Structure 1
Amino acid sequence: MTRERVEVAVVGGGPVGLMVACELALAGVGVSVFERRTERVSQSRALSLHPRSLEVLALRGLADRFMARGQRLPLGHYAALETRLDFSVLETAFPFSLFIPQTVTEALLEARARELGVDIRRGHLLTRLEQFPEEVHLEGTCGGGTFHAAARYVVGADGARSAVRTLAGIAFPGADATMSLMLGDIVLSEPLPQPALVVSNLKGVLMIAPLGDGLHHRAVVLDPERTGVPVSEPVTLEELAGSVRAIAGTDFGMKAPFWLSRFGNETRHAATYRDGRVFLAGDAAHVHLPAGGQGLNVGLQDAMNLGWKLVGVLRGWAPEPLLDSYQHERHPVGAHLIQNTLSQSALLYATHPAGQALRAAMSKLLTLPTANRMLAEQISAFDVAYPDPVLPAPPGMAAEPGVTGKRLPDFALHCEDGVTRTLYSLLHEGRWLMLRRPSAGGPASQAVPWGRWTSTVVAEPQGGPEELRPWPSLLVRPDGRVGYVARA
């Protein structure tokens, strides 16, 4: 049997898998994407990119492509509470959520992947996976035949029912759905009383927002009379409209459904994100109620974290144990995601009098700027930090408690050649960045053990976070986080 050899096989051609592929191909890693669907799906499950995801895209020079196709929304929500989350107070170049259908996000990432030479294979269904000391063997069906491949590493980005996770024997503990909600992309004959409508009362919870195409709106409904309906049962327009009327007093003339679906609050978290040469990312690693629109966003952030680390190891720029840091850094993020979506699930389901009182109290609490910002940072993933160093510190540098692992916003740098550049523009190639002030005599990139993976820029920051100011040299990770600092 002849097996085609690739450096990395990514199983799953959605946004998360494509993001991993882009990270790898950026460094010239040979990557093939195996996607079971023959065409991209036409329905958009996710509808927004949060501030940190926009930063992730900006770190690779891609944000403008997405900004041109989406709509900026300065407010977010937590469990559809009346008081919205204010993203505008966040210290970022993207103090908003970008309303953009998942179909567009996927199309843009696929276009970028093809620009980078990624091999995308649709209609490939994985049926067998076997690990060996130096490679992983994959087998499956395609176009009436079979395929056989061998990869140094495999990334499972193939969703909640992940074949990679199942075939690798990775446990997926959690809880089955205890309730279901309805979703409909429909046309409205009557105008909404406000551009985006949120209603919560004893009859249920309703959210309606325009999809941005000038025609369709998305309605999400939690009807306590219908939450016991199995997720597998199809939704009808009559059922959806009836629940909307019960909650809002009118169905706004709902008609011409483009997509009707039912989803639940099944909650599961992979026991590990790494098993030998197999990794999980996105929904393959964590599933939950899609509260706050976090699933796709956390998946994209998983993808960047894993991608640059695989590059370092595959190119011989970093030791293999670097890959363990993917589990150490991202598994706690997934656990935190599960916790906050369970919290929102409880608040959404609070359609009884005591629950409505709790929702009112929580909504009032969010009028406090500190509380509002805390949840805005949580939904945006700005509260994520990785305090443990991932590689040996270079000579003269060290991890600094409270600074190492923190995300850096984009800010201007007056460079030694007289040109002003932004921090993120210096990270587009996915390399480490040694940032030195002109007066610093600190180490150059050659002094870094992984120097071939590091660029050096001499520049004076024009603004930026306060905690950067004491340090004459700063080593920035490929994902825009502080790695190490050097004292004068």
Structure 2
Amino acid sequence: MPAPHTISHDVLIAGAGPVGLFLACELRLAGCSVLVLEHMREPHALLKALPFGLRGLTVPTIESFDRRDLLGALEERIASRSVSAAAHWMQQARRPAGHFAGIQFFHDQIDSEQWPYRLPGPVSHFAADMASIEAVLASRAGSLGVEIRRGCGVEEFEQSTNGVTVFAGGEAFQAQWLVGCDGGRSIVRKAAGIAFAGTDPDFTGYSVQVKLAGPEMPKPGRHYTATGMYTFAAPGTIGMVDFDGGAFHRGDPITREHIEAVLRKVSGADVRVTDLELATTWTDRAFQATEYRRGRVLLAGDAAHIHSPLGGQGLNLGLGDAMNLGWKLAATIRGNAPAGLLDTYARERQPEAARILDWSRAQVALMRPSPSSRALEAIMRDLIDTRDGATYFAKRVWGVGLRYDLGHAHPLVGRSAPNFEFDDGTSLNQHLRTGLGILLDFDGCDALRSLARRWDGRIQYVASDAKDRLGVTALLIRPDGIVAWASGVNGDEINAASSLSKWFGNPLRNQDVMLR
């Protein structure tokens, strides 16, 4: 093995995709030194661009980007690229809000008043292309001082009780921690000996850009057939599913002849593919790492979980991993993390991934070309077309129902904090851009102000009334925007102190502020 590289970092991240870049930004925001190692030499790829790079962003992702001042840059970029026009489902009279196995629901059906833990008003969500997401994250990472080495993928590593030595691109790099954000075939996960358990695929999915000739053309839109499913957007963008047990995925080369045969089989149209411009395959394989941490090695994103792209949950799930992990790993590196803080990463994120994997499996069951699936589809369409049904599916697809079990009965605890609008004109999300936790005190309680001073440097104390408090007097909000403690009455400072210790460690020793 080569001698270790002379520069040592706090964290090495394998993979410069959106998850790796977002995690790198989170760690640098907290003052950690970070090196990202990426095996691809160039960040650009055709499948990251429109139309195949289009991804729906869930509410937790949008909130996280807003809390780190990334949302404006992303919105500006996708507006200039006419991203909405590239989405075939947007070309409808009613505004689509998402789908379940291709069965759409619409904004005018959704009753957001059924979500009392959120502030009144519209719930924002939108689509963005992968190229734009990565460009915005890479720009932020660069401005924060993150070093990215492209064409330098992780090959293997050695870990000890004190750190990790990573071998990549003919060099050796040292760090305290290694995080694998290197995709579904993660080298980091495999080298760490972490098992990947789940269910094998039912189908091979195809995303292709083609030129077509008659005598028939596929019908525009999404269609279930007796042999599979396909989506067609003229003149030649096609997504299709062939229930072959995933046999073709990453097998033989994708040829024009093969795509024509599958298209004719699935659509039933007498159509010819005259030119194959771009093609990729995917499956509904659904697997999850049995551990998210082994020693000083952690996993996030597709390295920790994979599933079909149905419903656009995978990217959002990985970005949620990064937001959850970043501040916890940084506190561990700084040495002020309470006992077991890093273990809460897997405890919170593994169940969320398991739910998404089951959500994906349920959609596959509905898509199978069988009489029972078609009967179930008809019932599901009726349910989604109701106000309660559309609201339920929006809650799941948009991610507004996300709640971690933090052992507190208050309905806000464990949820994403509402973006309160304060009397001074600021919002909660703006205060979260420092990457610190927040003790939010609507009534300016002296005891809470004194308490906050004991954790100065780890949290901000924000004392301001808001347009709508949602019935609370004070909140403790983690750096990732999750509510850790909530009070509906004054005089609950003892519980606030306990929650501060639980999430932010012991108070500063040079402070001697006692509650009275």
TM-score (norm 2): 0.81
Alignment partner for residue 156 of structure 1, among 180, 186, 203? 180
Following the alignment from structure 2 to structure 1, what is the Cα–Cα distance between the partners of residues 270 and 323? 42
Using the TM superposition, give the Cα deviation of residue 50 of structure 1 relative to its aligned residue in structure 2, in angstroms.
Answer: 2.2
Q: Does the 8 Å CA contact 2:27/2:327 hold for their aligned counterparts?
A: yes
Matched letter for residue 102 of structure 1: M
1:57 partner letter: F
How far off is 1:436 after superposition? Answer: 1.0
Query: What's the offset of the Cα at 1:480?
Result: 1.5
- Superposition RMSD in Å: 2.9
2:388 — aligned with what? Answer: 370
Deviations 1:157-203 (CA, angstroms, capped at 9, x unpaired):
0000111111111111123323212111346799x999x72112324
Shift of residue 368 of structure 1? 2.1
Q: How does 1:416-431 map to 2 (within 5 A)?
A: 419-431=424-436
The question of 1:19 aligning with 2:43 is answered no
Native 8 Å contact 2:218 2:267 kept in 1:
no
Deviation digits for residues 91-141 of structure 1, max 9, x if unmatched?
57773542222122112211111111100001112222222111111112x
Match of 2:171, SS state, is strand
The whole-number CA distance in structure 1 between the counterparts of 2:290 and 2:434 is 32
Q: Which of residues 8, 21, 34 in structure 1 aligns to 2:37?
A: 34
Alignment partner for residue 251 of structure 2, among 232, 236, 250?
232
Distance 2:455 2:232 in 1: 50
SS in structure 1 at match of 2:340? helix
- Which secondary structure does the structure 2 equivalent of 1:291 belong to? coil
- Aligned counterpart in structure 2 of residue 413 of structure 1, from 422, 447, 462: 422
2:131 maps to: 103
Distance apart, 1:61 and its partner CA: 0.9
SS of the equivalent of 1:220 reads strand
CA 1:97–1:185: 2 relative to 1, 3 Å: farther
SS in 2 for 1:99: strand
Task: Identify the range of structure 1 (31-40 vs 90-99) with the bigger mean alpha-carbon deviation.
Answer: 90-99
176-185 vs 325-334, greater mean Cα deviation = 176-185
**Paired residue for 2:162?**
134
Are the equivalent residues in 2 in contact too, given 1:185–1:258 (CA < 8 A)?
Answer: yes
Residue 413 of structure 1 aligns to a residue whose secondary structure is coil
Of 265, 275, 278 in structure 1, the residue corresponding to residue 284 of structure 2 is 265
Matched, 1:55 2:63: yes
In structure 2, how many angstroms separate the alpha carbons of the residues matched to 1:165 and 1:106?
A: 23
SS in 1 for 2:448: coil
State the match for 1:396 in structure 2. Answer: none
Indicate which of 208, 212, 225 corresponds to 2:232. Answer: 208
- Runs (5+) with no aligned partner, structure 1: 211-215, 390-398
> Which residue number in structure 1 is paired with residue 194 of structure 2?
170
CA deviation after TM superposition for structure 1 residue 23, in Å: 0.4
Q: In structure 2, what is the Cα distance between the partners aligned to 1:422 and 1:300?
A: 23
Match of 2:311 in 1: 292
Q: Where does residue 392 of structure 1 map in the other structure? A: none
Alignment of 1:337-416 (within 5 A): 337-349=356-368, 351-388=369-406, 399-414=408-423
SS at match of 1:346: helix
Structure 1 residues 193 and 60: CA distance shift in structure 2, 3 A: farther
The one-character-per-residue Cα deviations of 1:331-357 (angstroms, maximum 9, x if unpaired) are 1011111111111111122x2222211
1:235 Cα deviation after fit: 2.8
Secondary structure, aligned partner of 2:194: coil
- Pick from 100, 112, 116 the counterpart of residue 78 of structure 1: 100
The answer as to whether partners of 1:400 and 1:485 remain within 8 angstroms in 2 is no
**Number of the residue aligned with 2:11:** 8
User: Which moved further from structure 2: 404-413 or 86-95?
Assistant: 86-95
Q: Within 2, Cα distance between the matches of 1:153 and 1:244?
A: 47
Please state if 1:122 is matched with 2:150. yes
> What code does the residue aligned with 1:431 have?
L
> 8 Å contact 1:199–1:247 — kept in the other structure?
no
Contact 1:205/1:348 (CA < 8 Å) preserved in 2? yes
Amino acid of the structure 2 residue aligned with 1:100? A
Is 1:434 the equivalent of 2:434?
A: no
Instruction: Give deviations 1:301-350, integer Å, cap 9, x for gaps.
Output: 1011001111222223423521011011001011111111111111122x
Equivalent residue, structure 1, for 2:496: none
Q: Deviations over 1:40-81 (max 9, x none)?
A: 233126521222211111111111112223345642111112
Q: What's the offset of the Cα at 1:252?
A: 8.6
Give SS of 1:412's match: coil
Aligned residue runs from structure 1 range 306-325, under 5 A: 306-325=325-344
- 2:478 corresponds to which residue? 477
The alpha-carbon deviation at position 153 of structure 1 amounts to 1.1
Task: Provide the C-alpha distance between the structure 1 equivalents of 2:109 and 2:452, rounded to a whole number of angstroms.
Answer: 40
Q: What are the Cα deviations for residues 6-31 of structure 1, in whole angstroms up to 9, with x where unaligned?
A: 00001111110001001011122100
Task: Compute the displacement of 1:226 (Å).
Answer: 9.0
Q: Distance in 2 between matches of 1:256 and 1:111?
A: 36
Mark the CA change 1:450 to 1:253 in structure 2 (over 3 Å): closer, same or farther: farther
Q: 2:205 aligns with which of 163, 181, 187?
A: 181
Give yes or no for the alignment of 1:334 onto 2:334: no
Considering fraction of residues, name the structure with more helix: 2
* Paired residues of 2:203 and 2:244 also in contact (CA < 8 A): no
1:363 and 1:268 mapped to 2: Cα distance? 28
Query: 1:462 is matched with which residue: 464, 467, 476?
Result: 467
CA distance in 1, matches of 2:19, 2:268: 40
* Bigger mean CA offset, 249-258 vs 308-317: 249-258
**How many pairs does the alignment contain?**
460
The answer to whether the Cα contact below 8 Å between 1:130 and 1:168 also exists between their aligned partners in 2 is no
2:47 is matched with 43
CA distance in 2, matches of 1:178, 1:105: 30
Secondary structure (helix, strand or coil) at the match of 1:34 reads: strand
Measured at CA, do residues 82 and 76 of structure 1 come closer, stay the same or move farther in structure 2, by a change above 3 Å? closer
Query: What CA deviation, in whole Å up to 9, does each residue of 1:426-474 have, x standing for no partner?
Result: 101111011112353441275476432111111112126x3xx1x3221
1:64 to 50, 61, 72: 72
Out of 370-379 and 8-17, give the one that drifted further.
370-379
Q: Which among 458, 474, 483 is matched to residue 453 of structure 1?
A: 458
Q: Deviations over 1:406-440 (max 9, x none)?
A: 112323111xxxx2111111101111011112353
Amino acid at match of 1:267: A
Q: Under a length normalisation based on structure 1, what TM-score does the superposition of the two structures give? A: 0.86
Structure 1 residue 242, shift from structure 2 partner: 4.8
C-alpha separation between the residues in 1 aligned to 2:360 and 2:428?
A: 33
Q: Which moved more, 1:360-369 or 1:400-409?
A: 400-409
